[in-house]
Structure 1
């Protein structure tokens, strides 16, 4: 009896808008191993741990089927391409702007 491998061949994410936007803070929800595309590390090495935090810095696609999000894992010092299902939204970039106190802002008059 062989191992059942889950495939996403029937899913085409690109028919919908991306799940994440530039600047959003995300958390990795699984351990991610190097599939051979991460330079300087052995295939199979864990390159991102479950719970690591990062920011969306790019949005691309793979096989005209999946969105790939470039995530800057600032504590690790590098970026990794991730699938949307590997990430959870922590903070919307627009929500961070809402924290600014408008009353505290004082416009200076020109000299």
Structure 2
């Protein structure tokens, strides 16, 4: 029997979330509807690689993973994404420290 590789061995909740509320992020892979997004067909593209948004909520799934609610302003909706599907663009403290007064 073949060994099935799954993320089930990884428990992200033992560490703090990777991203913060209000943080600007970029999606690093195309995400399709798995049936949990209302108003879209299963398999329909929700987010494309390179789309940007802001973290508006941080939740959990299966007591294992963080799910980040990302407000995708260009699309006009919010999608729940795993940390491994996102990359940080900037943080508030980074933009604040580069601004001259």
TM-score normalised over the length of structure 1? 0.83
Q: Does 1:14 align with 2:23?
A: no
Summarize deviations over 1:10-38 as a string: whole Å, max 9, x none: 00000000000111111100010001111
1:88 Cα offset (Å): 0.7
Matched, 1:60 2:56: no
Structure 1, unpaired ranges of 5+? 103-111
| RMSD of equivalent CA atoms | 1.7
Secondary structure in 2 matching 1:94: helix
Segment drifting more, 92-101 vs 16-25: 92-101
- State the Cα deviation string for residues 57-82 of structure 1 (Å, max 9, x = none): 11010000000000011111110000
Output the CA distance in 2 between the equivalents of 1:70 and 1:79.
Answer: 6
CA drift at 1:56: 0.6
Aligned to 1:97: 96
Larger radius of gyration between Structure 1 and Structure 2: 1
Change (3 A) 1:45 1:5: farther
Q: Secondary structure at the match of 2:9?
A: coil
Q: Secondary structure at the match of 2:8?
A: coil
| Length-normalised TM-score, structure 2 | 0.91
Task: Name the structure 1 match of 2:69.
Answer: 70
Q: Name the CA distance, whole Å, in 1 between partners of 2:71 and 2:5.
A: 27
User: How many corresponding residue pairs?
Assistant: 101
- Between the aligned partners of 2:31 and 2:97, the Cα distance in structure 1 is 33
Structure-1 residue corresponding to 2:40: 41
